[in-house]
Chain A
Amino acid sequence: QSALTQPASVSGSPGQSITISCTGTNSDVGNYNLVSWYQHHPGKAPKLIIYDVTKRPSGVSNHFSGSKSGNTASLTISGLQSDDEADYYCCSYEGGSNSWVFGGGTRLTVL
């Protein structure tokens, strides 16, 4: 199973909005609404921030939002804050192999 494609890095200033894309195929992102997103501060436990494409777990800030169009899912972070600086990973169920595939990760820098 091939990794989903994410940009290696994105950046933005405090208060701005950024979007991270996650491109897969019609065997994963395009065929299932089982896309999730994780925030990872290195050295800490990764944290679920979006599941089922658009849903936010309890306690996760509403400045995180998710969407999907075709084979590409997106994570939008609005009103950037300094503690949003982290690595972000998308993940999708892959039906052909009954497995899970992650994106390569995107490093977000808050300028």
Chain B
Amino acid sequence: EVQLVESGGGLVEPGGSLRLSCATSGFNFNDAWMSWVRQAPGKGLEWVGRIKSKRGGETKEYAAPVKGRFIISRDDSQNTLDLQMNSLRIEDTGVYFCVWVNVGWFHSWGLGTLVTVSS
């Protein structure tokens, strides 16, 4: 059974940093492309970024609103995905989902972890 479990969410002040993690199991993480997708309160889904597999060069892409502030990384030895979020803004508030990407679609999702940016 595929499982993705996010952790690390919480309350942080504007300008602060937070690191999210995603523990995965049930699929070949080493060959998986992974993404983060977020959902602001009462809003729709928003793609945050993607990291390819090591075989794919571990290339990373980011959405314009987070580029230069967020960093996606992976640890294939631990089957984990991370999201380092810096210079956080109020509009970064939301639930962050860890997602297994299969070519052109978002195959499996976690339950998400809530990030609240507020003073």
A105 at the interface (CB under 8 A from B): yes
Task: Indicate whether A51 sits within 8 Å of B64 (C-beta atoms), given known contacts A44-B111, A105-B44.
Answer: no
B11 to chain A minimum Cβ distance, whole angstroms, is 20
Contact assessment for A51 and B44 in the assembled complex, using a CB-CB cutoff below 8 Å: no
Contact assessment for B44 and A3 in the assembled complex, using a CB-CB cutoff below 8 Å: yes
Contact assessment for B45 and A99 in the assembled complex, using a CB-CB cutoff below 8 Å: no
Contact assessment for A91 and B63 in the assembled complex, using a CB-CB cutoff below 8 Å: no
Task: Indicate whether A34 sits within 8 Å of B104 (C-beta atoms), given known contacts A44-B111, A100-B47.
Answer: yes
Residues of B within 8 A of A105 (CB): 43-45
- From A47, which residue of chain B is reached at the shortest CB distance? B109
**C-alpha spacing A99/B63, complex, angstroms:** 7
Write the B35-51 contact mask toward A (1 if CB under 8 angstroms, else 0).
Answer: 10100000111110010
CB proximity to A under 8 Å, residues B88-119:
97, 102, 104-112
Contact assessment for A45 and B109 in the assembled complex, using a CB-CB cutoff below 8 Å: yes
A29 to chain B minimum Cβ distance, whole angstroms, is 13
Contact assessment for A101 and B111 in the assembled complex, using a CB-CB cutoff below 8 Å: no
**C-alpha spacing A44/B108, complex, angstroms:** 12
Residues of B within 8 A of A97 (CB): 64
B61 at the interface (CB under 8 A from A): yes
Chain A interface (Cβ < 8 Å from any Cβ of B): 1, 3, 32, 34, 36, 38, 40, 43-48, 51-52, 57, 89, 91, 93, 97-105
- Can you add 13 more A-B contacts, CB < 8 Å, to A51-B104, A89-B45, A102-B45? A38-B45, A38-B106, A45-B110, A45-B112, A46-B109, A47-B109, A48-B108, A52-B104, A98-B61, A100-B35, A100-B50, A101-B47, A102-B37
7 nearest A-B residue pairs (beta carbon): A34-B104, A51-B105, A100-B47, A105-B44, A36-B105, A45-B109, A102-B45
Contact sample, A vs B, 17 pairs, CB 8 Å cutoff: A3-B44, A34-B105, A36-B104, A38-B45, A44-B111, A45-B109, A46-B106, A47-B109, A51-B104, A51-B105, A89-B45, A91-B106, A100-B35, A100-B50, A102-B37, A105-B43, A105-B45
